[in-house]
């Protein structure tokens, strides 16, 4: 059974600082890994999707890396802004078509 862990559970940084969010998973037999953002009371917005054959994906200030063999992914957010405050969720799509979610990292960017 796939277990997904996100560390830290919460993070508070001043505006402009870079953010580093960690995700680890127990079973390396995956199709892909997806990072989502969830604002309070809202649905999930897809940020980045990394296929199992890829090492990283970039979108604007966001960069996600994947090390499948060690079961790790890291989401980097450069030059954080107050609008980046949200919960960030990591989800691993395993070979059984099930998407397993981590508990999320709640980020607060202070102005």
Q: What is d(CA 11, CA 55) in angstroms, rounded to the nearest whole number?
A: 25
Q: What is d(CA 71, CA 68) in angstroms, rounded to the nearest whole number?
A: 5
Q: Which of 27, 28, 72, 101 binds another protein (CB under 8 A)?
A: 101
Minimum separation from the CB atom of position 40 to another protein (A):
10
Q: Which of 24, 87, 88, 92 binds another protein (CB under 8 A)?
A: 87
Location of structure tokens 């989502």: 36
Minimum separation from the CB atom of position 98 to another protein (A):
6
Q: How far is C-alpha 101 from the geometric centre of its chain's CA atoms?
A: 10
Q: What is d(CA 79, CA 94) in angstroms, rounded to the nearest whole number?
A: 32
Pick the closer one to another protein by CB: 31 or 76.
Answer: 31
Residues that bind another protein (CB under 8 A): 31-32, 34, 36, 42-46, 49, 87, 89, 91, 93, 97-101, 103-104
């Amino acid at each position: 059974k796939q277990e997904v862990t996100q560390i830290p559970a919460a993070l508070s940084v001043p505006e402009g600082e870079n953010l580093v969010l960690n995700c680890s998973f127990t079973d390396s037999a995956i199709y892909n890994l997806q990072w989502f953002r969830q604002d309070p009371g809202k649905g999930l917005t897809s940020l980045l999707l990394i296929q199992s054959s890829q090492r990283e994906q970039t979108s604007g200030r966001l960069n996600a890396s994947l090390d499948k063999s060690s079961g790790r992914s890291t989401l980097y957010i450069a030059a954080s802004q107050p609008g980046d405050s949200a919960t960030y969720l990591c989800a691993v799509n395993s070979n059984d078509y099930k998407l397993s979610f981590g508990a999320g990292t709640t980020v607060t960017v202070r102005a």
